[in-house]
A and B are shown apart, each in its own frame.
Chain A
């Protein structure tokens, strides 16, 4: 049996000590996981799995990561994640539309940058307003963005319905429009950005974020540039959300209207980080899996097991109630989210079989 012991693996340089995965076993596990995601899944999964489960799961993980950087690491509460997703999506769409021959990955990045600028603007009040009152600035962003994108036809190229349609996803002559292609595209972008985020939170900036989160007055006292730290948190978080928005519009739905990024979406992203675990990178995947899979599971179970027993509308209401109950149970039983369950398992696995 594979031992997960860390014995004999010493860090001889700081760079080694700062690595995301310090154990070779963990690195091997990651390699296996990536191999499964890139090779096994595309061979095995059906259209339904790609289009209805895996792609939204990955995109929402990324949106969760964006919010987690801001809220879980830097301690700034935001209820406007969906607004930044919308900005990213619509900006990317317009770059695609107005700049001839721009590779779509470049428009994703540009869209993310536009969202980052908007993020900084909505983060400015955080320099003065603290705690729960801060939700007002991101909520304002949430409503203003929705209104602006609906109100001014330019953003949706004057489509009478205000809905944008994704251009064909062609990269280097390869058409990625098939479900598997869109999955691989999403997976690659998400993997790259998660790696980036893993680096950021272990850098000086990440440590400054945590200091500001734990107590910003104290952080200022020990010489951390609070203003810059907070604004960078807003910018980077919004960048991630913006790219997630582009993926949502282009790789997942293929179309999007401003209303698709409403307050409920922001709440959904918030659920992801609460359930997955604030201040955790892995938690975003776990939380997104919970938020995407649980309703599907309940709806599938309700459709097959309860069909005929109670009226269809009632099963949906029961599911809604159950979802609410599960959220509360999680908050009560596992305040640090699913990620802390994982940490517990990992800690136990590392000492196995010496102690159970």
Chain B
């Protein structure tokens, strides 16, 4: 009894000490801050360590090679979310005020759940919320979602690009008629999101599509693949997440479905998704917006200025240049570019989230800029506007050779004109539900 009372008292002391430490901040300005809601433990840690490793290494590169963005050094701190929504919210609230006087530029949670939960808060606090390659599809419509940026690729564009690629492979859209496609999706809101779009595309091109759900976490897929074996589809689109991906590939092989006709989506496209399946994954195709590889000049620079200097963030150097790491680098490039563009307008100083938001909205990454960044082939052309917060909508296709991803296609564009009315309708419904008056994009500069 006395021991426990003592420990309780100690605990109380520790609580007050810890909270005092958390709130106490030393003032030092002149830097631009990136709050990182990272996840390095838990079921999705492999993705989180790669992504945030790449993001941090790129910022480190900007600091060591260039001395910051126009002299404004970048600074960051991490807060572990474990991919859990309320932890992400706590991290958001903890970090949004900036660090030691350096204002927060943008948040990059890399989690659909956390993005949803901090969407309203981001708008209220005027801090851009970057959901690269994921997030709420209708936030593409920047007139309703001024602070949210599903950069490069929203879920609708993703399936549209996949269907376009299948069309290419079959030798033209007219050949899609009568083909059979199965989507194997993760039993979660994320997995289900694209069902209506695929149905629309199926009607348009005359193929049949069957949706088969794999319950979370997806460790067991025997019956789903036996069903696929019975349907005998021409292609299988895999919308997986985490452990579901290697199991899908293994079970495909087990039931005799050729994995080179399985196309993985953006969250089924990393080394961690294919490698655990071993040899049978050879030939598996997936999309990517950020090919793996270390040959891009920007990665060479990171290697030279950051890794060689012993400042790299990855614990396991073998993961340098893998898919998640490169996504982090791409994300770093886009964030830094937004800061740079905003600095051109607002001045070369640490910017507020509101100012950085302007930068994101005016992102314009053309081939010339990609050349300068050393990221040709790593990042697609991107031009954002008030109405369009996605900007790209293109993917490349890559194939697993048993140890590495090999890029097998050029950029394949999604049919964004087809998707736009659906997105606008959904955004308008959201605006009505929340009582938001959309901005008039014609008047924005």
Contacts and interface: CB of A to CB of B under 8 A. Distances in A.
Interface of A: 47-48, 51-53, 56, 147, 150-151, 156, 159-163, 165, 167-168, 252-260, 264, 293, 295-301, 303-305, 307, 311-313, 315-317, 319-320, 329, 333-334, 338, 341, 344-345
Given A255-B119, A259-B216, A316-B40, A338 B8 contact: yes
B215 interface: yes
Nearest to B3: A333
Given A52-B94, A297-B14, A160 B137 contact: yes
A76 to B, nearest CB: 27
A161 B112 contact: yes
Contacts of A303: 22, 77-79
Nearest to B112: A161
Most chain B beta-carbon contacts within 10 A, residue among A147, A161, A259, A304:
A161
B80 A168 contact: no
A52 B22 contact: no
Given A51-B89, A160-B426, A305 B216 contact: no
A304 B22 contact: yes
Contact of B93 (A47, A300, A312, A319): A47
Top 5 closest pairs, chain A to chain B, by CB: A162-B189, A313-B40, A300-B22, A297-B18, A52-B90
A53 B7 CA distance: 23
A147 B187 contact: yes
A256 to B, nearest CB: 8
Contacts of B4: 333-334, 341
A316 B19 contact: no
A293 B193 CA distance: 35
Interface in B413-429: 426
Contacts of B119: 255
Interface string B399-439: 00000000000000000000000000010001001110000
Contacts of A333: 3-4, 7
Given A253-B85, A259-B188, A293 B315 contact: no
Contacts of B434: 165, 168
B171 interface: no
A298 B38 CA distance: 16
Contacts of A252: 86, 89
B49 interface: yes
A55 to B, nearest CB: 10
B84 to A, nearest CB: 8
B307 to A, nearest CB: 15
25 contacts: A51-B93, A52-B90, A151-B213, A156-B189, A160-B189, A160-B192, A160-B193, A162-B189, A162-B192, A163-B116, A253-B117, A258-B189, A295-B87, A297-B19, A299-B79, A300-B22, A301-B18, A304-B22, A312-B38, A313-B49, A316-B40, A317-B41, A329-B7, A341-B8, A344-B1
Interface string B80-107: 1010111101100110010000000000
A171 B117 CA distance: 22
Given A163-B116, A257-B116, A48 B192 contact: no
B19 A161 contact: no
Contacts of A159: 189
A156 B192 CA distance: 13
Contact of A305 (B21, B40, B116): B21
Most chain B beta-carbon contacts within 10 A, residue among A150, A329, A345:
A150
Given A162-B192, A252-B89, A297-B19, 5 more contacts: A150-B187, A160-B137, A161-B137, A300-B94, A304-B22
B345 interface: no
B189 A313 contact: no
Nearest to A295: B87
A140 to B, nearest CB: 14
Contacts of A160: 137, 189, 192-193, 196, 426
Given A52-B93, A253-B86, A341 B433 contact: no
A259 B113 contact: yes
A293 B15 contact: yes
Interface string B163-196: 0000000000000000000000001111011001
Contact of B40 (A156, A301, A312, A338): A312
Contact of A260 (B85, B121, B192, B213): B85
B41 A316 contact: yes
Most chain B beta-carbon contacts within 10 A, residue among A147, A162, A303, A334:
A303
A44 to B, nearest CB: 12
A313 B19 contact: no
A255 B187 contact: no
B120 interface: yes
Contacts of B27: none
A334 B188 CA distance: 40
A341 B315 contact: no
A315 B41 CA distance: 10
